[in-house]
Amino acid sequence: MSKIKDFLFKNKNVKQIIAKNVFWLGVGQVGSRIIRAFIIIYAARLLGAAEYGVFSYALGLAGFFTVFADIGLSPILTREVAKKPGRGSYYFATTFWMKIILLAVTSLLVIFLAPQFSGIEAAKAIVPFVALLVIFDGVRDLTIAFVRAKNKMEIEALIIVITNIAITVFGFIILYFSATAKAFTLSYVASAGIGTIAAIFILKEEFMRVVSNFRKQLIRPLIKSALPIALFSIFGIFMINIDIIMLGWFRSAEEIGFYSGGLRIVQLLYILPSIIAVSIFPSLSKLIGENNHEKAKKLMEKVITVVLLMAFPIAVGGVILGFPLIEIVFGAEYLPGVNAFKILIVAIIFVFVGNVLGNSILAYDLQRKMTKFVVGSAIANVALNFILIPIYGIVGAAIATFAVQVFYNFFLIVIIKKVNKFLILKYLKKIIVAAVIMGIFTFIINWLGIHVILNIITSALVYFAVLLILKESTVNELKLIALSIKK
């Protein structure tokens, strides 16, 4: 029991810290979002595709404007506090006041500018509440960035779980009385406020010193480091939200609902590489700061292998099981979104790797070299959406996302390879073989008409069994870590 307690709450070495961080982020991100998935699925079924499309469009607008409320400050706070723990409180206080100014400006942009972006009339009435959501999320994200630097992901997990439980509870209560997109958005805002209050309470000692610990001289270096990251953030926002916004310009709320159903599943899966990338970021930053490049190289190889080990079977299984999966989760009404879902699910192979590479570029302080590629990718995304959405609708939006992800991640690899000569292809042979064998089993089970949930479980078992038979090294390492915790 004491070993489990030490593993979960103490920082001993790089491998244990990363494993501990993955566990707590898994509890916080995956566990809490599974809880939230109940209310999302319930709301999608209760509201219907059109009304759910309005809600998704409102959240898309909030996400789009969130980039202006941070400009890369949160990851810089994590990196600098991880490298200089003794000055952590100064960085937190200074970043806090910078963030407050940005949140005030962003809120005004949301209230007065966001309605001009909206092609969905029903969404315009929700925009003022979206401004509150941006403020709550901004303050909460700042606290999370700070605890990440301290490798205290158990605190992050607690904050996220509180927020998502509130979303679920308030969501069910409010939808019981009023099944509208506006009411559901209000439940989101109230829940975000509860999560933010919890975060402030947990870090109350830091918040009580935000005036005395403010350091004016830190503002310029923070902005200098953060602005290139803002471009990464803009690209991320474009990839996640611009398709929804542009669908609102050319298509109906109902089609946005069809698209958002499958997108919700895909975005839930995005959490997996994010958990791992965030877990290694403090350790990778520390290794780079110590000029221990060989260990940094090995760490990146292992992490990229792990995310691809997850991505390949998910992509293969998602394509084969797209129809029954969408139907069982959201209902037959959302089946028109299946083809878009299949394209998006294949794109996660690139998204998973890109998540790790993006954090690595930040750890190496190479974000400035990515500027032209980020701008080019964002422009390409908008251009492709303009061309493809009017012709192909939601499938066109998915194709645009897929194409830009391939383009963007190619250049991520080119940039990071200049400082870290990591290898990856040699680790993929067994993973690809296992994914292909699993895919054959998945197809046969689906053809036989066996329930999709049972199919997913069986396919996962087949996949990992094949990896074990092939003696895939990453799976064996994960098994050893699990065994060491039990002892």
Structurally, how many domains does the chain consist of? Answer: 1
Percent of the chain with pLDDT over 70: 81
What average pLDDT does this structure show over 271-282?
75
Q: Is residue 88 part of a domain?
A: yes
Longest CA–CA separation in the chain, Å = 67
pLDDT bin (cut points 50, 70, 90) of residue 412 is: confident
Q: Is residue 381 part of a domain?
A: yes
Predicted local confidence at residue 440, as pLDDT: 93
**Segments in 290-321 forming alpha helices (H):** 293-320
What is the residue-averaged pLDDT of the chain?
79
Q: What is the pTM of this model?
A: 0.65
- For the ranges 146-150, 211-215, 264-268, 363-367, the lowest mean pLDDT is seen at 363-367
pLDDT surpasses 70 at 467:
yes
Q: Is residue 447 part of a domain?
A: no
179-188 pLDDT tens trace: 887 888 888 8
pLDDT surpasses 70 at 228:
no
Q: Is residue 289 part of a domain?
A: yes
Predicted local confidence at residue 320, as pLDDT: 92
Q: Is residue 76 part of a domain?
A: yes
- For the ranges 120-129, 203-212, 252-261, 455-464, the lowest mean pLDDT is seen at 120-129
Q: Is residue 411 part of a domain?
A: yes
Residue 425 CB neighbour total at 10 angstroms: 6
Contact 178, 46 (CB under 8 A): no
Output the six-digit token pair for 286: 């520390």
Predicted local confidence at residue 430, as pLDDT: 85
Percent of the chain with pLDDT over 90: 9
Contact 130, 153 (CB under 8 A): no
Containing structural domain, residue 187: 2-427
Predicted local confidence at residue 484, as pLDDT: 44
Q: Is residue 433 part of a domain?
A: no
| Cα angle for residues 415, 421, 426 (degrees, 5° grid) | 115
Q: Is residue 440 part of a domain?
A: no
Q: Give 365: exposed, middle or buried? Use CB within 10 Å, 0-12, 13-18, 19+.
A: middle
Predicted local confidence at residue 480, as pLDDT: 47
For residues 58 and 337, give the distance between their C-alpha atoms in angstroms, rounded to a whole number: 19
pLDDT bin (cut points 50, 70, 90) of residue 241 is: low
